[in-house]
Structure 1
Amino acid sequence: MYFIKKNPTIIIDGNLYLYRSYFTFQKLNTKEENSFGAIYGMLKMIENILKKYPNTEKIIVIFDSSKKTSRNKIFKEYKNNRLPMPPSLHVQILPLFKILKTIGIKTLNTPGIEADDLIGSFAHKLEKEGEKVLIISHDKDMLQLVTNNIHIFHTGKSMIIDAKKIKEEYGIQPKEFIDLLALMGDVSDNIPGIPKIGIKTALFLLKKFSNIKNIYNNIEKIKFLTFRNSKNVEIQLKKYKKIAFLSYKLAKIQLNLPISINSSEIKLEKLYFSKKLSDFIKKYEIKKKYF
């Protein structure tokens, strides 16, 4: 992949990996029995990323807001299926921010704005400035952001996802992932979608009509298509039209929000990072087997 040679600007989806780190290293405690698994996991992940991309010069970690967002205003049930943050994770947030600042990693979170929208807008801004961007995330919502200059690195699969890979796996273009989520919904974010329409049916419709708008412009043709229960699918589409377009609004990541941080502000001093990370390991007496 050319990104390895092109020194990508790296954007980390902070909340996803914060939770992943917390549950992976939940038993890690200091001598005073204070949890630090989430902090350790985030630092370990950043260290591994820098090993994979040793020429990277710019990196930022973007987090969600704790406040309600614009999506909650148009759909009160949005993300309401998620459990509150565990107290033992919550107490690690401020120390994590301080540690990241100390070791030279810039963070970004804005009250009332989701991390997805900050990531999308910052990545879009960087792309317009001529930079190659690598988003570290395993959230399928992020696939809509993929372009020639913006790729996703899925740490769970240890795989770079570009437009070609999305086309191979799903048969659609990255931007059509918004339409896919609008049709089939997304349980993790509580995006409703259209009942009884799963991924196979949604992909069939998108391959035929490209997007949700074209699907509804050709709604009378659905029942004549050669797939199972096409008549029932047409009925569902008509019945839940408002829900479909509401789901589209919920799934679409914003690309043009004002971002106060400039590219030059997220430069990483690698030697400084290594020194401060070493200091952190000593402070918490982390055993070498963890690193």
Structure 2
Amino acid sequence: MNIHKQLVLIDGSSFLYRAYHASKNGFTNSKGQPTGVCLIITKMLQNILKKFSNSDFIMIFDAKGKSFRNEIYSQYKANRPPMPDDLRSQIEYVHKIVKGLGFPLVSIEGVEADDVIGTYASKATENNIKTIICTGDKDLAQLVDKNITLYDSMNDVYYDETGVVEKFGVKPSLIIDFLALKGDSSDNIPGMAGCGDKTAVSLLNEIGPISEIEKNLDKIPTLSFRGAKTFKDKFVNALDSIHLSYTLATIKKDVDVPFELDDVPELATDYDALIDIFTELEFKKILIELKSQRDNGSSADKVEEKAESSDTKSEETMVSLSDSDSNLIDYREYGASFVLVDTLENLLALVSKINSAQFVAFDTETTSLNTRDCKIVGMSLCMHE
């Protein structure tokens, strides 16, 4: 590894579930194999390669089985349902795609992907290497410092030290304390009953980390959050749960990793392996691009033009998608066609079809899955199976 290169750490486990929810479980090849996650992750990784060119990359996944946190607390993540079958069946394909694109893939038993990411990020900071962590996981905000930035590729948002404060209300060094106080329902970290975001933020910003709060219990009743006057006794009674939660929320930075930063493998695309995978998954447009790149060394732009011109579907029936936008996926690989209703004529035609249809499927398209702060992009309707 060039010690001056930027390091990009990709949270593969986060990508899997985000791609799964974005794929809406509706895409399969002709044999019935689900393919939506594979397609979306392929597009996400292609965009990350373009966005962070001349960087070193490591992609990290959770290993099978439980982690050391389950030994500490048997109920850790016990509330999570098992991995859906239509996601599980795509894991092997995803790993092959990751390796085919040239990404080093790391998965270590007994720890979580977060711990491996934390270890590599810590090593990078020690060597003054700038690091980008691609993830949607809030727990990783505790790693952010002057050299480490989180990147939410689904929403194209960066979180540096200032960004973490704006999002969570506390600086990165207090994220563990924040999670220990309020708990984390997604990981079944208990935290303290009756302590929400606002209370935790007030305690941490006005007194300090949990260790300081314990030393300054008399300050709690003077704070401005609701219930402050009676909060001290509740806090003291919950200390065992808070300390446990702190341990569970803390990302390890000393995992025994398979290679050091000066040995990060260089990216090398295995075109033949990818072509075999995408042929099986029936990703027609991606196959055209890959074969052209392998055989002719065409630029990405020329490959895209060639792929679009070879499509047998009428361009008027398809929404134009920008390859520069990492949030958009071109579903023409599946042979599907779309009509963009952007004229009165198209709108009247749609109304006519709806009136004559027996059934109509309707869905809103939004910028994220968070119902509280997502924005509507558009609406989609379908009158056919």
TM-score by length of 2: 0.69
Distance 1:24 1:177, change over 3 A: same
Alignment partners' CA distance in 2, 1:18 and 1:234:
42
Report the 3-state secondary structure (helix = DSSP H, G, I; strand = E; otherwise coil) of the residue aligned with 1:59. strand
Q: CA shift at 1:129, angstroms?
A: 2.7
CA distance in 1 between counterparts of 2:70 and 2:214 reads 26
Structure-1 separation of matches of 2:130 and 2:265: 14
Pair 1:281–1:95, CA change in 2 (3 A): closer
- Tell me the CA shift for residue 195 of structure 1: 0.5
Q: Which residue of 2 aligns with 1:80?
A: 78
Percent of aligned positions that are identical: 36
Secondary structure at 1:93 match in 2: helix
**Distance change >3 Å, CA 217–CA 27, structure 1 → 2:** same
- Specify which structure has the higher proportion of helix: 1
Mapping of residues 138-177 of structure 1, within 5 Å: 138-177=136-175
Q: How many Å separate the matches in 2 of 1:67 and 1:45?
A: 27
Change (3 A) 1:153 1:273: farther
Displacement of 1:38: 1.9
Q: 1:249 corresponds to which residue? A: 247
Q: How big is the shift at 1:171?
A: 4.2
**1:18 matched to which residue of 2?**
16
**TM superposition score normalised by structure 1:** 0.90
Report deviation, 1:283: 4.6
Residue number in structure 1 paired with 2:236? 238
Q: Is 1:286 matched up with 2:283?
A: yes
Tell me the distance in 2 between the aligned counterparts of 1:81 and 1:180: 21
| Aligned with 1:123 (options 121, 124, 129) | 121
Decide which moves more: 256-265 or 190-199: 256-265
Cα distance change on mapping 1:34 and 1:168 into 2, 3 Å: closer
Does the aligned pair in 2 maintain the 1:197–1:233 contact within 8 Å? no
CA contact (8 A) 1:126 1:132 kept: yes
Residues 25-62 of structure 1, C-alpha deviations (whole Å, 9 max, x = no match): 22221221111222222211101112222x23311211
Asked if the contact 1:27/1:37 (under 8 Å) is kept, the reply is yes
Structure 1 SS opposite 2:264: helix
Structure-2 change in CA distance of 1:171 and 1:284 (3 Å): closer
Larger CA Rg, structure 1 vs 2 = 2
Label 1:131 to 1:232 Cα distance change in 2 as closer, same or farther (>3 A).
same
SS of 1:135's partner is strand
The answer as to whether partners of 1:209 and 1:215 remain within 8 angstroms in 2 is: yes
Q: Using CA pairs below 8 Å that are at least 6 residues apart, which structure has the higher relative contact order?
A: 1
Q: Name 1:221's counterpart in structure 2.
A: 219
Return the letter of the residue paired with 1:36.
T
Partner of 2:308: none
Letter of the 1:199 counterpart = D
Q: How far is 1:181 from its partner?
A: 0.3
Cα drift, residue 16 of structure 1: 1.3
Q: Does the 8 A contact of 2:93 with 2:277 survive in 1?
A: no
SS at match of 2:145: coil
- Quote the Cα distance in structure 1 between the aligned partners of 2:233 and 2:88: 45
Structure 1 residue 131 displacement after superposition: 1.7
SS of alignment partner, residue 187 of structure 1:
coil
User: Does 2:80 correspond to 1:59?
Assistant: no
Describe the superposition over 1:199-255 as per-residue Cα deviations: whole angstroms up to 9, x where unpaired. 101000101122010011111221233332112221210110110111100111111
Q: Match of 1:266, as an amino acid?
A: P
Q: Is the 8 A contact 2:202 2:223 kept in 1?
A: no
Once residues 130 and 277 of structure 1 are traced to their aligned partners in structure 2, the CA distance between those partners, rounded to angstroms, is 35
Deviations 1:147-178 (A, max 9, x none): 11111001233111000222344442202000
| Counterpart AA for 2:37 | A
How many angstroms apart in 1 are the aligned matches of 2:234 and 2:245? Answer: 15
Report if the CA contact (8 A) 2:164-2:171 is conserved: yes
Q: For the structure 1 residues 168 and 94, does the alpha-carbon distance in structure 2 shift closer, same or farther, using more than 3 Å as the test? A: closer
How many residue pairs were aligned?
A: 283
Quote the offset at 1:280 in angstroms. 4.5
**Partner residue of 2:179 out of 178, 181, 202:** 181
Q: Which range moved further: 277-286 or 20-29?
A: 277-286
From the superposition, tell whether residues 119 and 226 of structure 1 become closer, same or farther in structure 2 (CA, over 3 Å). same
The equivalent residue for 1:47 is 46
